[in-house]
Amino acid sequence: MRGRNRAGLERAALLDVLRSARICHLGVIVAGVPRVVPTVFGVDPAGPDREGTLYLHGSVASRSMIDAPEQDICVTTTVVDGLVLARSAFHHSMNYRSAVVVGRPRRVEDADERIRALDAIVDQVVPGRSAHVRSHTRKELAATAVLALPMYEASVKSRSGGPVDDDLDIQRGDVWAGVVPVWEALGDAEPAADLAGDIPVPEHVDNVRRKATRG
């Protein structure tokens, strides 16, 4: 059994990965064949499912969305933080954070929860964006399937630090080794071609760019 402190640390690590990622990969069996689909997602740590809720969405006609509630699925996210370059090919690696959430999802039918879920998915890409766009139309909601996955069964893996080389390779001293940091970079916002000229870039859009800027 995990101690309370350990469980809290694991949950914090899980939320860190999920909040840092903008895309996940949904693994589901369709017609007897494994299918892994890249998609956006949303997270509600206080959601109605056990240990919080991870939300997915897609077309109501998507086989992945149709078949997923009848089976256990797997959702994976990965954030790469660095390229670890060792003195030998064998010891090359990456610094990363990854999370895997597994379980049986449910279809979200409640109207209010569907809207909260879709807003969470929008805000996963650009935090605060859902408050600035128009509401969902009935037609859009009817065309969209929403799945809720409990965050109870999840695992987190990560690596940090420099290369771990063999002593003999270190002693030779003839090969450079180290870490190349990796981070997300966002450029300046480019207005749509049909945007009215007097609408400025909103603060929440500027914020997401600034938070991703390093160096």
Residue 215 pLDDT grade (very low, low, confident, very high; cuts 50, 70, 90): very low
Q: What is the pLDDT of residue 87?
A: 98
Judged on CB neighbours under 10 Å (0-12, 13-18, 19+), 109 is exposed
Residue 19 pLDDT grade (very low, low, confident, very high; cuts 50, 70, 90): very high
Q: Say what percent of the chain tops pLDDT 90.
A: 89
Q: What is the pLDDT of residue 213?
A: 67
Q: Residues 111-145: pLDDT tens digits? A: 999 999 999 999 999 999 999 999 999 999 999 99
Specify the pTM. 0.91
pLDDT at 211 over 70: yes
Structure-token pair, residue 11: 């949950």
The Cα–Cα gap between 73 and 56 comes to 12
Q: What is the pLDDT of residue 112?
A: 96
Structure-token pair, residue 130: 């859902």
Average pLDDT over residues 165-180: 97
Read off the amino acid at residue 22: R
The number of beta carbons lying within 10 Å of the beta carbon of residue 149 is 27
The number of beta carbons lying within 10 Å of the beta carbon of residue 185 is 10
Residue 7 pLDDT grade (very low, low, confident, very high; cuts 50, 70, 90): low
How far from 106 is each of 35, 146, 175, CA to CA, in Å?
19, 9, 53
Q: Residues 29-62: pLDDT tens digits? A: 999 999 999 999 999 999 999 999 999 999 999 9
Q: What is the pLDDT of residue 198?
A: 87
